[in-house]
Structure 1
Amino acid sequence: QDFVPPYDATVVARLKSAGAIVVGKTNMDEFAMGASTETSAMGVTGNPWDTTKTPGGSSGGAAAAVAAGTVPLSLGTDTGGSIRQPSAFCGITGLKPTYGRVSRYGLVAFASSLDQAGPMGWSVDDVAIGLQAMAGYDPRDSTSVNAEVPDFTPALAAEDVRGMRIGVLREGLDQDGISPAVRDALATAESVLREQGAEIVEVELPHSKYWVPTYYVIAPCEASSNLSRFDGAHYGYRVGDAEIAAADSGPLEAMYSLSRAGGFGSEVKRRIMVGTYALSEGYYDAYYNQALKVRRLIRNDYDAAFQQVDLLLGPVTPSPAFALNEKTDDPIAMYLCDLFTVGANLAGVPAISLPGGFDAAGLPVGVQLQAPVMEETRLLRAGNVFQMASDFHTRRPPTFTANHSQ
């Protein structure tokens, strides 16, 4: 709070250079840890389609700002679905680029091998403009890939998806808690893309059942390491001298422990403790090292699938937006919001969330396309063709209408 950064992140600097006007910063789950924007120290954000519902997370404020008509484009970060899930909940389009396609310089690290910034807007056109401006090699980011950024314009000019093989992912759709609206949206997307010339085939990713447990070992471990720098000494929150002096322990230990206890919320503390435990002596090989081996198997699944198909089609979330406070006392239920999204992060592949329909209550439902590494062009082509043949991305929530009638 009250911190003014001395420099711009690379993605922000590039957007400004392209002519973007930065309006402000949007609300998010603390340190990007959450799926509902309810762990934010700045308060809760409502969903513009129904303010009693969550906009999703962690980039919930960014999605809500677009859906409410405040801005046409926003930035989010996606460690396990934090661009795609709120985009689905808010009925907008959100793109997670290939890991390394967009610079992470200036991004506060959560899980360094998973984090990726990306654009959020109403349409594929919008996010393509954002990606074109922000993507590219950055020598200040050691994870940045030194690859040429293609011109995405031709992808947006395609009129169909003839010649494309699209694999449909159905793993997990038979579980309890999967909304019928999610299945319906997937079926609709299948039908639309088939009508536009795509060949639809069935594909399986055998290790998909391990996505969530693998993610929730690797991500907390990396968070534990990254957040150790927030210690009250270097920067960030620090308790006052009076609190330190009143502590039973020595002043240095008190400064560290009290600053971290007061400066982190409960969800962040939970993940730090889980990660620290998994990295501790005697457990590193059993948890973190084992999770890395499973991650390799997950990436192998993707590589094998993309030998058969050009894109993968599946759901984004198990359900439409849920009510605020509905899952706050059940961390496992909250983590399962990432059921269909974390695979792309573990494999490092690009993925896009597209508005795909509505449930009976009028809440948006998203569908997801995933592509091989560095093949954002395929996502944009197929996503744009889908949007030309459907109108889900053109519908607006009541708050948008109210904002623009004044």
Structure 2
Amino acid sequence: MRAHHSASDLWWLSAREAQRLIRRKRLSPVELVRACLERVQALNDTLNAYIALYAEEALREAQRLEAEAQQGAWRGPLHGIPVALKDIFATAGQPTTVGSRILRDFIPQEDAVVVHRLKEAGAILLGKLNLHEFAYGITTVNPHFGPTRNPWDTSRIPGGSSGGSAAAVASGMCPLSLGTDTGGSIRIPSALCGIVGLKPTYGRVSRRGVFPLAWSMDHAGPMARTVEDTALLLGVIAGYDPHDPGSAHRPVPNYLRNLEKGVKGMVLGVLTESALGVVDTDVETAFGEALRALEGLGAKVEEVAWPEAEGVPGAHLAILMAEASALHQRWVKERPQDYGEDVRLRLLAGLALPGTLYLKAQQVRRKATSSLLALLERVNALLLPTCPVTAPLIGAERVSIAGRSVDVRTALTRFVSPFNLTGVPALSVPWRVSHEGLPIGVQVVVKPFDETTVLQVGYALEQTAPSKGKRPPL
């Protein structure tokens, strides 16, 4: 017999809880989709997370899935669960704008591989979400679709480029989303909006049908309100794709199986204070608190050195600019007026980079990756803050960290871009809110294809986090 649920209960239901209720026929997929659509109707004018809503299609699909469930036919682990996508994933027959004017009317012929896998697993596509134009930025202040706002403080950015995804999940407009991450674009908005975001190992998740930014550093990954939901979603989208040249032929484990094993006996590495550099006081306090909590759960925390890290941000930027500009070369020359100013200037700067700089950056990358992999063999995981500051104000070009003025982009990417360059898995988990009421995230990094461990450590963090169960003041 179906239970009665208020819409507000359903906004905050995890995907795993919804999955269990739907399986027991205690919750209708139609009811769940209607609750999400009601939330979008109430909040999207303020937050501007969705740029396309598939209300009628989603309700029709929910009715089909409900009928199948009544017959005992289950498509997969996401049967009846609503999902919204960053508008960078190809959706057959529906516009995929990549947050741009240039592709505003682009309608793909087929779904991205990950979208196909979501549908096969029974997910219901609610709509497409705002992003920084062409995913080339970290604010989601989009000149064509307007800025997405942070649910914790609407005067602030949600981060980017997957800002619409983070804002939608954090505010209860959908339980699950997919983002992409080339320089922190899943983890930055996850940290700033207080949700969980995972950049998997390079090659773990297919990128076929995902509009590229920098081919050698692009990753697609899950965003959710809990680590358990992140593990559930990763299990659906991960796996080899012979048509993605970067895809890895590796088996996909059950990521849910070992979540609760804990961190007792683990060795967790922390970079030296000099390597981390200056961070906001609230972030520093929160990070120290998280480390003590993990020690209390039986982990051993020890300082580690990664001397090659110093050259990593510069190498990442050089490779990103060269690869992005190579992709956009024709459009930026023929249609410069159709780009937002920030993205246009970055693309033009990338065209002026000498090839020797790109090659030197690749040499730095090789050395940095080799030394990081050696470090990750000595510890179970590396921990650091996701971002050195909380969410900046919309329009701010600089932030103050410990009395120093720092460029926003440089600040927000500092702790995340190294793991795009090296391709290892990195997870952002919400830990607490600052004295201003803004979320602070902790980042967990592990060796390649060890997503099981990164989720295990993340789950342990989440269970002890002061921010567990906290919601934005909407």
User: Does 2:457 correspond to 1:374?
Assistant: no
Match of 1:365 in 2: 440
> 1:189 is paired with a residue of what secondary structure?
helix
Aligned pair in 2 of structure 1 residues 28, 152: CA closer, same or farther (>3 Å)? same
Structure 1 residues 203 and 370, CA, compared in 2 at 3 Å: closer, same or farther? same
Counterpart for residue 311 of structure 1: 381
The alignment partner of 1:356 has SS state of: strand
Counterparts of 2:310 and 2:156, CA distance in 1: 28
Report the equivalent of 1:179: 280
Mapped pair 1:53 → 2:124: no
| Aligned residues of 2:431 and 2:462 also touching (Cα < 8 A) | no
Q: Contact between 1:30 and 1:265, CA under 8 Å: does it hold in 2? A: yes
Distance in 1 separating the partners of 2:327 and 2:135: 13
1:337 aligned onto 2:337:
no
Determine the C-alpha separation between the residues in 1 that align with 2:284 and 2:367.
27
**TM-score for the superposition, normalised by structure 1:** 0.86
Instruction: After superposition, give the CA deviation of every residue in 1:286-314 in whole Å (9 maximum; x if it has no partner).
Output: x1111111111210221121121010000
* Residue 216 to residue 378, structure 1, CA distance change in 2 (3 Å): same
- 1:321 aligns to 2:396 (yes or no): no
Identical aligned residues as a percent: 42
For residues 118-152 of structure 1, give each alpha carbon's deviation from its aligned partner in whole angstroms, at most 9, with x where no partner exists.
01011100111110000000111110001110111
Question: Which region of structure 1 is more displaced relative to structure 2, 86-95 or 379-388?
Answer: 379-388
Number of the residue aligned with 2:84: none
In 2 relative to 1, CA 359–91 (structure 1 residues): closer, same or farther, beyond 3 Å?
same
Provide the residue aligned with 1:387 in structure 2.
462
Shift of residue 4 of structure 1?
2.4
Task: Give SS of 1:69's match.
Answer: coil
Q: 1:170 to 1:397 in 2, by over 3 A?
A: farther
* 1:380 match: secondary structure: helix
* 1:80 CA displacement: 0.7
Among residues 111, 116, 126, which one is paired with 1:13 in the alignment? 116
Amino acid at match of 2:109: P
Map residues 7-156 of structure 1 onto 2, 5 A cutoff.
Answer: 7-156=110-259
| Higher strand residue share | 2
Aligned length: 366
Residue identity opposite 1:112 in structure 2: W
Counterpart-to-counterpart distance in 2, 1:392 and 1:40: 33
1:191 and 2:319 aligned: no
Identify which of 198, 202, 205 aligns with 2:306. Answer: 205
What residue in structure 2 maps to residue 398 of structure 1? Answer: 473
Greater RCO, CA 8 A, separation 6+:
1
Whether contact under 8 Å (1:80, 1:345) holds in the other structure is yes
Give the RMSD, CA atoms, in angstroms: 1.8
Structure 1 position 271, deviation (Å): 2.2
1:208-227 deviation digits (Å, cap 9, x = unpaired): 22222111100010001122
Query: Which one of 271, 275, 279 corresponds to residue 169 of structure 1?
Result: 271
Distance 2:162 2:272 in 1: 26
Range 221-230 or range 356-365, more displaced: 221-230
Aligned to 1:236: none
Q: Residue 211 of structure 1 aligns to which amino acid in structure 2?
A: V
Task: Compute the TM-score of the two structures, normalised by the length of structure 2.
Answer: 0.74
| CA offset digits 1:174-203 (Å, max 9, x no partner) | 745x21111112111101111111111101
